[in-house]
Amino acid sequence: MYNDVMDYDMLYVRSRIISSVRSFFDEHGFLETLTPALSPNLIPECSLEVFKTLLSPPRGAARGGAIPYYLTPSPEIWMKKLIAMHKKSIYQVCSSFRNCEPSSPLHNNEFTMLEYYAMDAGYKDVLALTEELFDYLICKNKKNLLRFLGEAELKQAAPPFIRITMEEAFMRYAGFSLKNAIEKKELKKEALRLGLNIDEGVKDADVYNLIFIHAVESALPKEKPVALIDYPAIVKTLAALAPQSGGVFCERWELYVRGVEAVNCYSEETSPIAARRYFEEEGAEKQRTAVVPHKIDPDYWRIFEGFPRCSGAAAGLDRIIAAFTGKKSIKAALPFPMPMEEF
């Protein structure tokens, strides 16, 4: 199954970068955690599919039903419980798992996640922290990285980040105001203008995503990392709403490095009412549409009672390592990449 084995030079630089990640967060007072890869329930995210397994009773025990468990698509479900309990800045480097995604140059069904949460911080604070992290990783490993690519190429993955709001990006690359289109329910009209075919009944969030992929994502600058700021709230997440946007945008950004999305961040929702509504709405949608339905803890929203102000980021570490070494595929950044299966 695993035919391509990473060469020693890449294995070495991967090890040094991951070690530097830990040094950076340790020096900034973050506590490292290592939470379970298996969970009896998950946070509902309709854009993700998961892997299911079964916990069977011990041999010789009285026969009973096996208990379903799920491989975590990120450590978020466990890390937020730690935050609710201890209210400390934490980080984690771990394997995460996503099903029903093509094993491709940008996807591996098992991948390396870096997830970090900063207390008493908003999404722009964590953007500055991430910029500092990238600068630290490149400076700390520059000699090793220059064995793979030239100085000019390395600068394409280095700070300072280009900052563009989603509203600015849609005006610049799609030719319309995203805010106005959402408020006036005209996203489908704009999609048709751009030559996109939209089926009846398609949700606004999916129309937005089609336009984004078609007109915006591919046009983003590649000479420096690009932080796309203030995502539309029609894409449901546990992100806090941007207070001055009239509920149209949320406090969220994603970082693109050489045109590839590498980090997702938002100011965390702290309202138990909003969290409960998210779990109920997304949970119902997940059960309706998921290829692999999973259990949802109906009381998970209660951890948001007294939840601290904080911001969390999830980074695809394999994509970052690939970007830092000039590789076009994350397969080169994985010790044992999965083959690109054809279905």
Residue pLDDT, tens place only, 292-341: 999 999 999 999 999 999 999 999 999 999 999 999 999 999 999 988 76
Q: Among 1.10.630.10, 3.90.320.10, 3.30.930.10, 3.40.250.10, what is the CATH number of 8-161+224-333? A: 3.30.930.10
Contact by Cβ (8 Å): 25, 32: yes
What are the pLDDT digits (tens) for 156-175? 999 999 999 999 999 999 99
For residue 267, the model assigns a pLDDT of: 98
Compute CA distances 121 → 34, 127, 169, 268, whole Å. 22, 10, 25, 9
Query: Which of helix, strand or coil describes residue 252?
Result: strand
Q: What percent of the chain lies above the pLDDT cut of 70?
A: 97
What are the pLDDT digits (tens) for 99-149? 998 878 899 999 999 999 999 999 999 999 999 999 999 999 999 999 999
- Distance CA(96)–CA(99), nearest Å, equals 10
- Distance CA(224)–CA(169), nearest Å, equals 16
User: Does the pLDDT at position 181 exceed 80?
Assistant: yes
User: Does the pLDDT at position 200 exceed 70?
Assistant: yes
Contacts of 151 (CB under 8 A, 6+ apart): none
pLDDT band (50, 70, 90) for residue 2: low
Contact by Cβ (8 Å): 109, 99: yes
User: Does the pLDDT at position 70 exceed 70?
Assistant: yes
For residue 58, the model assigns a pLDDT of: 81
- 218 burial (CB, 10 Å; 0-12 / 13-18 / 19+) is exposed
For the chain, what is the total number of helices (H) and then of strands (E)?
10, 11
Domain ranges in the chain? 8-161+224-333, 163-221
For residue 62, the model assigns a pLDDT of: 61
For residue 170, the model assigns a pLDDT of: 98
User: Does the pLDDT at position 208 exceed 60?
Assistant: yes
Compute CA distances 274 → 39, 107, 169, 281, 282, whole Å. 23, 31, 28, 11, 12
User: Does the pLDDT at position 3 exceed 60?
Assistant: no
pLDDT band (50, 70, 90) for residue 184: very high
What are the pLDDT digits (tens) for 249-297? 999 999 999 999 999 999 999 999 999 999 999 999 998 988 999 999 9
For residue 178, the model assigns a pLDDT of: 98
* Residue 235, both tokens: 């894409």
For residue 140, the model assigns a pLDDT of: 98
